[in-house]
A and B are shown apart, each in its own frame.
Chain A
Amino acid sequence: MSYARRAFVVAWKDLLVERRSKETLNALLFFALLLLFVFQFALGPDRERLAGVLPGVLWLGFILSGLLALGRTFLVEREHDCWEGLLLAPGDKSAIYVGKLAGNLALMAVVETLVLGLFVIFFDIDLARAFPGLPVVVALGTIGLAAVGTLFAAMTAHIRAREVLFPVLLLPVQVPVLLGTVKATEALLLGESLASVAHWIKLLAAADVVYIVVGLLLFDVILEG
């Protein structure tokens, strides 16, 4: 009970801080809008060309937004030495990781919903036939991205070149998630059934489990430095 309460209070704090400051959310929405404009101009109106690259473009949008959001996860803890307070908290430190991960997932869910909505408007795509598979793929892909991103954000929080190091560390580890999400999204947007992408879903679920377990096991070591 104490573990769940401590995880909850960390997520509650992060979301409350974000709701009031809107620092990350505003930056992400503006960034996503710019990204869509750039893609729109670069890709043009050719629908055949669009169909081929759209899944990659969609996930590029998610990943780049995620890099911005996740990289900032622990910056708030550096102000006023709050990191010390987290470190000195008794009990299993992985509760803090779970709380941070939950906060990041909630934030990314908001951003991805908006990005997805903007994609529909900008590229005039029909998402109806990709349901219910697409939300499943997006959820699994986001969990994988956030699980590793939260861990690496803690690792790089005290490093001067963290803005450079964070994506350099994160992206190679994300290869299985990127591969699975892009391939599954491509198939679902072409109207294939959820069953036809089951192998990708299994890959994503397995990657998520591995990333979360690694995060739970390593977070204490990372926090202790």
Chain B
Amino acid sequence: MTAAPLIRTSGVRKFFGAQAVLDGVSLDVRPGEAVALLGGNGAGKTTLLKIVATVMRPTSGTVSVAGHDGAREAEAVRRVLGFAGHGAWVYDDLTARENLKFWTTLHDRRASEDELAAALAALDLERAGAARVRTFSAGMKRRLSLARLTLFRPLALLLDEPFAGLDQRAKKWLEGYLEAFKARGGALLMVTHSFGRELGVADRIAILAGGHIVLDTPRAGLDPDDLQRLYAAHAEDVA
């Protein structure tokens, strides 16, 4: 028997003015599964991620996470979600450790000093833990936002370009973290433009174009050349 989806979007439409960015998007992500969402610039990938995260409301259609309706039970959805969008959610004048402490407290995720230290160490930030984030590079800020996610212990993860700006070591760590997350039964929906190593984590590839999911296929057996061909055939034709 197939497990019920942890993330489900059903007929999601989103209009900005008269323009439909999403026009009936339906997508499921099951426990232990990772879906990579591909698409050109302006295809609506980030918009879809924000709608699932309950940051943005759909014009119509429904979204649910772990069985909670995004419109009526946004509070319950937020409790089980981990979201890393384009912004790193960091305050430049706080230290890395203070940033983690602030977000875990605000989000009711109690984290001990040891857990904070472990999260920083996992992302190679232990020596920068007491430094103000103002002094961090973009990649370090990105790593700090990933350290925050590990402390949130979510059921479902929504990641927008998670590998962007990371060095090789951090990319390897993230791959390991996401594989372990899936193994624990978590559901992952990630937006990416890359056909590189990040797709190795994905179990399914979904291509968003013209406001629709134009392709939703298992990744297994597809090499990068196949993916390029599929992307060209589906995303670029629609665009």
User: Which residue numbers of A lie inside 8 Å of B, CB to CB?
Assistant: 2, 5-6, 9-10, 12-13, 16-17, 20-21, 76, 79-82, 84-91, 96
Contact = CB atoms under 8 A, between A and B. Distances in A.
A81 B85 contact: yes
Contacts of A86: 106
B87 A80 contact: yes
Contact of B83 (A13, A17, A79, A84): A84
6 smallest CB-CB distances across A and B, nearest first, come from A81-B87, A85-B89, A20-B93, A9-B105, A80-B87, A17-B93
A82 B93 contact: no
Contacts of B216: none
A31 to B, nearest CB: 21
Contact of B105 (A5, A20, A76): A5
Contact of A88 (B78, B86, B88, B94): B78
A90 B89 contact: no
B92 A79 contact: yes
Given A16-B94, A88-B81, A6 B89 contact: no
Contacts of A21: 93
Given A81-B89, A88-B78, A88-B81, 11 more contacts: A2-B108, A6-B105, A13-B94, A79-B91, A80-B88, A86-B106, A88-B53, A89-B107, A90-B75, A90-B107, A91-B75
A13 B85 CA distance: 22
Instruction: Tell me which of A10, A86, A91 has the highest count of chain B C-beta atoms within 10 A of its own C-beta.
Output: A91
Contacts of B86: 81
Nearest to A82: B89
A20 B132 contact: yes
Given A81-B89, A84-B55, A84-B85, A17 B106 contact: no
A17 B85 CA distance: 23
Contact of A16 (B78, B88, B89, B93): B93
Interface in B170-213: none
B54 interface: yes
Contacts of A82: 87, 89-91
11 contacts: A6-B108, A9-B101, A9-B102, A17-B93, A17-B94, A20-B132, A80-B88, A88-B53, A88-B81, A89-B108, A90-B78
A138 B108 CA distance: 36
A12 to B, nearest CB: 8
Given A81-B87, A82-B87, A84-B83, A16 B107 contact: no
Contacts of A79: 87, 91-92
